[in-house]
Amino acid sequence: MESIPPPVVVTAGGDSGPLVVLLHGRGGDEERILELSALLPETSFAAVRGPVGNGDGYAWFENHPLEGPDWSTVAATMAWFREWLDDAAGTRPVVLVGFSSGAAFTGGLILSDPGRYAGAAVLYGTLPFDSGLPATPGRLSGLPVFVTQGEEDEVIPAELSARTWAYVTGESGADATAQRYPGGHGFTPASLRDLSDWLIKTVAAAG
């Protein structure tokens, strides 16, 4: 892939305590995902723009129309993200909140280095099982992980949703919270309420 541009980041809330990092879906951007912060508990938020251009928006890794995700590019973008994060967060606890392909990127980050994070929300997405990252038994032991899925989601393949659910709630060892909601590939009032409740508990425990 081409050279990765410098991070573009927008923030909300304070600048101390645990940091909640919001990761948008494919074709989204940092401004749109930051709108979530107004619906979530008051804390420190940072929304990062994916480094890969995708139409009028951005993505976290290359995606080919016929072949699907190009997981060979995710190692570079994860390293780019970690360099930004280590500088931006320092020693502060970090909670990841990823939507759709941002959820897959979140999954890659926690599988790559589960001890770096205080929690992760995998929202309407799937873990990147085909990326070569270690989805082994006990890999996420004790890590708070929140999974949301839409019962009529036509974007995420059903078999990957089922595999993500089974792994997170089972052999991963995560401290898992998993919910399915009526509807498709997007937030509902109930899923936003449950995300807010989960974040309150996770941020309080991290802080």
Residue in 150, 152, 178 with CA at minimum distance from that of residue 165? 178
Measured CA to CA, the distance from residue 111 to residue 109 in angstroms comes to 6
pLDDT at residue 194, as a whole number: 98
Picking from 29, 45, 19, 183, the residue whose alpha carbon sits closest to that of residue 99 is 29
Spell out the per-residue pLDDT of the chain, length 207, in tens. Answer: 568 889 999 999 988 889 999 999 999 999 999 999 999 999 999 999 999 988 889 999 877 665 567 777 888 999 999 999 999 999 999 999 999 999 999 999 999 999 999 999 999 999 999 888 999 999 999 999 999 999 999 999 999 999 999 999 999 999 999 999 999 999 999 999 999 999 999 999 998
**Per-residue exposure over 117-136, b if at least 16 CB sit within 10 Å of its own CB, e if not:** bbbbbbbbbbbbbebebebe
Q: What is the pLDDT of residue 61?
A: 85
Give the pLDDT score at 62.
Answer: 79
What is the pTM (predicted TM-score) of this model?
Answer: 0.95
Helix axes 74-89, 101-112, angle to 10 degrees: 80
pLDDT of residue 130: 87
| Residues in contact with 115: Cβ distance below 8 Å, sequence separation at least 6, in sequence order | none
How far from 19 is each of 57, 132, 155, 203, 204, CA to CA, in Å? Answer: 24, 28, 29, 8, 11
Q: For residue 87, what are its two tokens?
A: 């500088």
Cα separation, 187 vs 5, in Å, equals: 30
